[in-house]
Amino acid sequence: MANHDRVNERYYGQINSEDSHEATRTRVHWMCRETTGKRILDVGCSQGITSILLGREGFRVTGVDLEEESIRYAQEELAKESKPVRNHVDFRMLDITQWKARTTFDTVLLGEVLEHFAHPETLLLQVHRLLGEEGTLIVTVPYGYHPFYDHKQTFYASNLAMCLIPYFEVLKLEVHHKYLCCVARKRQKIQLDVKPPLNQVLDWMKLDHTHFEKVEQQHLRSMKQRKKALDSAVDQLKRLRRQENEEG
């Protein structure tokens, strides 16, 4: 079953809520800001918004996705751009894990991709091969539990970092609108037995603690609001029943 990710439509506020629109814009703009070099590979590019935005800034971008419908949409959106942008962006439908390209890239983007892999090392090995020396990897994933039929991973700061560190040095981990956002640098050699320093682990724990304290506070406020609404509804029902009895 296809995922039918509609990132362009969320980015422009054409579907979903205002919160979803703002979260998408924040995440996409963050990825664009963290991009380095000139040659960019956008893996799981979906409808193409990130690739197109980078193309407008002069980056040379290859956007790839498994879904034919998404690539068709991205190509139609690209056709509306100026000729310089069209010349800077190339959309392709392909399986990145099977791509035999010898080209290397300065930055690889994985925007909401890793959570779809039961074995993310398959993808990370390929990304490591496709990145140039000290190339940049930019990853965003849903932060914490996010119910979706094709999500095979639930990521928090520590397990995302531990997933990446054999192949990449984690430089930055942040949370934006319920997305865990990471910037990492390619290791010259893969180190399957590498262990993070204690201070880094403590930083990841602090990030999780800070974020989930806010989540719990928000949940508590929501539960209080629901209880208040329920109590009000119960009181109203009691009044109506008393009124019916009095009139009867």
The pLDDT of residue 103: 93
Based on the fold, state whether residues 85 and 149 are members of the same structural domain: yes
The pLDDT of residue 62: 98
- Domain with 184, as residue range(s), is 7-194
Based on the fold, state whether residues 123 and 222 are members of the same structural domain: no
Based on the fold, state whether residues 115 and 146 are members of the same structural domain: yes
Based on the fold, state whether residues 115 and 87 are members of the same structural domain: yes
Number of domains into which the chain is organized: 2
Q: Is residue 1 part of a domain?
A: no
Based on the fold, state whether residues 140 and 212 are members of the same structural domain: no
The pLDDT of residue 130: 98
Note whether 88 and 78 are within 8 A (CB).
no
Based on the fold, state whether residues 50 and 87 are members of the same structural domain: yes
Based on the fold, state whether residues 135 and 217 are members of the same structural domain: no
Based on the fold, state whether residues 146 and 28 are members of the same structural domain: yes
The pLDDT of residue 1: 53
Q: Is residue 2 part of a domain?
A: no
Based on the fold, state whether residues 31 and 123 are members of the same structural domain: yes
Based on the fold, state whether residues 233 and 190 are members of the same structural domain: no
Instruction: Read off the pLDDT of residues 3-21 as tens digits, 9 standing for 90 and up.
Output: 778 999 999 999 888 888 8
Q: Is residue 69 part of a domain?
A: yes
Q: Is residue 240 part of a domain?
A: yes
Where residue 91 sits, what CATH number does that domain have? Answer: 3.40.50.150
Note whether 155 and 180 are within 8 A (CB).
yes
Based on the fold, state whether residues 117 and 234 are members of the same structural domain: no
The residue from 194, 218, 238 where one domain ends is: 194
Q: Is residue 148 part of a domain?
A: yes
Positions of the chain with pLDDT lower than 50, given as ranges: none
Task: Return d(Cα 100, Cα 45) in angstroms, integer.
Answer: 19
Give pTM, 2 decimals: 0.89
Note whether 115 and 141 are within 8 A (CB).
yes
- Neighbouring C-beta atoms of residue 158, cutoff 10 Å: 17
Instruction: Read off the pLDDT of residues 105-129 as tens digits, 9 standing for 90 and up.
Output: 999 999 999 999 999 999 999 999 9
Q: Is residue 35 part of a domain?
A: yes
Based on the fold, state whether residues 22 and 79 are members of the same structural domain: yes
